[in-house]
Structures are given as structure tokens and as C-alpha cells.
């Protein structure tokens, strides 16, 4: 079984879209998505520096566009789709819940509203690596921090005020390391509540269809079969923790054999390598990775066909 996944904020790096825009038709597709998002995504994906693309108003549309572009070049139909945080919007397009144009308008509004919410109080996020998960969550709770991303494979992302994060750096959970993240706010926490209200007001204008592919939700790792419920979760997830650990458990329950992570890939494949031993993976970083991804997809397809024939 092949799962196609899309990364969230923090995966972007300066110039990462440059090689993708050299492919035929890619620049035209990106131009159309730029119009929908109200941003020059080609500029931000090729010429902008790290600080510019760290801005959540930029990062979110940029990541969704990169995921759609690289998946389009891969040209495969996966068995299941999922995305981490903003990557869920990318996955919603793959599942045909939203059109690419609607998704780009929605993610641009998401980025703006989350940036506005983040501006109210100086907040941030930090990765807690290692330690017992239950002990880590209890430790964060004691400091007033939220476990905003429970990613599995020994990684939990804490979010809160800069004072709370400084306290965490000074008082780490037992047997854990703390690494500050280059994000612009405490995403997936109560600090984002104003963004939830702003996005909820936009949903009536969206053209929504039920998923045509199994869509695994960050909220609880469940497969969602209603398009309206997918959109409701996309809105609510802005201020709720990402449970990527539960998503990976669902992949495993469904018999995942391969995972391909779209551009800018690497983060989710890294988690899968630690949490899902034996599952083969490819991360699309540049177009040079497309050949390996297609080869993996072909092998998975052949193996599934052989198994079906044997039955």
C-alpha cells in the first residue's frame, strides 16, 4: 500500500522550488496558484531568504503549492493520502475534496489569519526529542506549554509563549533534548483561536466533495469519508494538536508498504523510518528524486497485483 504525504511548516528552505520550475509547464501552474493565493510564489520559492519564507503568510501557500506541483510531476494515484498540519490542505486536493484553486485561496487565508493571531502575543515552538512521551507531555503541561505536534518516533513539539519556551530550555524533560523551531507562532494551540473563527467564516464559499481516496486526519488518525467533515477538521486543526503519531498507526493498520513525501520532503520520511521499520520511503527534494519514487510506486503496484492474483 502506497501512502502519499505532504510536510508542514519548517520544511521549506530558500530556493527549494528553483529546480521544479525548470520542468515544462511548472511555472505556468505556479503562476495560476499565485493568483489564487495573492502572492508571487515563484519569487518566494526561488529568490526569497530564510526569514521571508519563515513568515507563515508566505510559508503556508508556498508549501501547498510545492506539494501540488511535485505530486503532479510524480503522476501516481496513491492508496491513502495525508498531510502534516498545512500539508492536510495539499492532501485534501489529492483526495479531490477541494480544487487546487480553492485550496490556494483557503491556505492563503489560513496563513494570514494565523499570522494575525500570532502577532497578539510573542509565541513560538520547540521540538522535544527523546524522553518518555507521557513524562514529556506532563512536563510541558507543568510549564503551561501545549504539545502541539505529537509526531511519534520520539518527537513532540511544544508551543507557547517565549517565556514558557525559555523555561523549557532551562528545565528539559528527563533524557530529552530541546530544539527551537523556526516558525512564527504557537500553531495548533489556543493562541490560534481567532484564526479558527476567521476560517470558519470562509467555508460556505468552498466547493467541497467527498474524498475519492482514503484521507487520514491529523486530529485523531481516523480516515474521514465526508468532505464537509474534512473541511471542518481543517478549520478546527488550526488550534488543535497534530497527532501524526496516530496517522502513522493508521498507515500501519492499513498495511502500508511505501511512503512518498512530496516536496520539500524529508521530515515525514524521517519519522516513518524510525516509527515504521520495513516501510520503504522516498522524499521528493528535487526532480532528481522522481525516478526513485516512480520505481518504488511501480514495485508496490506489482507486488499488490501479484498478491491479488495469488488470492
85 as an active site residue: the answer is: yes
Question: Of 85, 217, 240, 263, which is the active-site residue?
Answer: 85
DSSP state of 255: T
Q: Residue 113: is it exposed, middle or buried by C-beta count within 10 angstroms (0-12/13-18/19+)?
A: buried
For the four alpha carbons of 286, 92, 251 and 301, in that order, the dihedral sign comes to negative
Residue 96's CB is within 10 A of a number of other CB atoms, namely 14
Q: How many CA atoms lie within 13 A of 64 on its CB side?
A: 33
> What is the grid cell recorded at 155?
518527537
Residue 221: name the closest of 197, 250, 180 by CA: 250
Instruction: State the Cα–Cα distance between residues 225 and 107, nearest whole angstrom.
Output: 21
188 as an active site residue: the answer is: yes
End-to-end Cα, the chain, rounded Å: 16
Q: How far is CA 43 from the centre of its chain?
A: 22
Question: Of 188, 239, 240, 263, which is the active-site residue?
Answer: 188
Which residues are tagged catalytic? Answer: 85, 188
Amino acid at each position: 500500500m502506497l501512502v502519499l504525504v505532504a510536510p508542514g511548516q519548517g520544511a521549506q528552505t530558500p530556493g527549494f522550488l528553483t529546480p521544479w520550475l525548470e520542468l515544462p509547464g511548472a511555472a505556468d501552474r505556479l503562476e495560476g496558484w499565485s493568483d489564487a493565493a495573492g502572492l508571487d510564489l515563484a519569487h518566494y520559492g526561488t529568490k526569497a531568504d530564510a526569514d521571508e519564507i519563515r513568515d507563515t503568510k508566505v510559508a503556508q501557500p508556498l508549501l501547498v503549492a510545492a506539494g501540488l506541483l511535485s505530486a503532479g510531476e510524480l503522476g501516481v494515484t496513491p492508496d491513502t493520502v495525508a498531510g502534516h498540519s498545512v500539508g492536510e490542505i495539499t492532501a485534501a486536493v489529492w483526495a479531490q475534496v477541494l480544487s487546487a484553486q480553492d485550496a490556494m485561496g483557503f491556505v492563503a487565508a489560513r496563513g494570514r489569519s494565523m499570522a494575525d493571531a500570532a502577532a497578539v502575543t510573542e509565541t513560538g515552538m520547540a521540538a522535544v526529542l527523546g524522553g518518555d512521551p507521557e513524562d514529556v507531555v506532563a512536563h510541558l503541561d507543568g510549564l503551561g506549554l501545549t504539545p502541539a505536534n505529537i509526531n511519534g518516533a520520539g518527537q513532540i513539539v511544544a508551543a507557547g509563549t517565549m517565556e514558557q519556551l525559555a523555561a523549557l530550555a532551562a528545565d528539559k524533560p528527563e533524557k530529552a533534548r530541546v530544539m527551537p523551531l523556526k516558525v512564527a507562532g504557537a500553531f495548533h494551540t489556543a493562541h490560534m483561536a481567532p484564526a479558527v473563527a476567521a476560517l470558519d467564516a470562509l467555508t460556505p464559499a468552498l466547493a467541497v466533495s467527498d474524498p475519492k481516496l482514503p484521507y487520514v486526519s491529523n486530529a485523531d488518525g481516523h480516515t474521514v469519508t465526508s468532505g464537509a467533515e474534512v473541511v471542518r477538521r481543517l478549520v478546527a486543526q488550526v488550534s488543535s494538536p497534530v497527532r501524526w503519531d496516530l496517522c502513522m498507526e493508521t498507515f500501519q493498520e492499513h498495511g502500508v508498504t511505501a511512503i512518498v513525501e512530496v516536496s520539500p520532503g524529508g521530515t515525514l520520511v524521517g519519522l516513518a523510518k524510525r516509527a515504521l521499520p520495513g516501510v520503504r520511503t522516498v522524499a521528493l527534494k528535487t526532480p532528481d528524486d522522481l525516478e526513485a519514487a516512480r520505481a518504488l510506486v511501480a514495485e508496490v503496484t506489482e507486488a499488490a497485483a501479484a498478491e491479488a492474483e495469488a488470492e
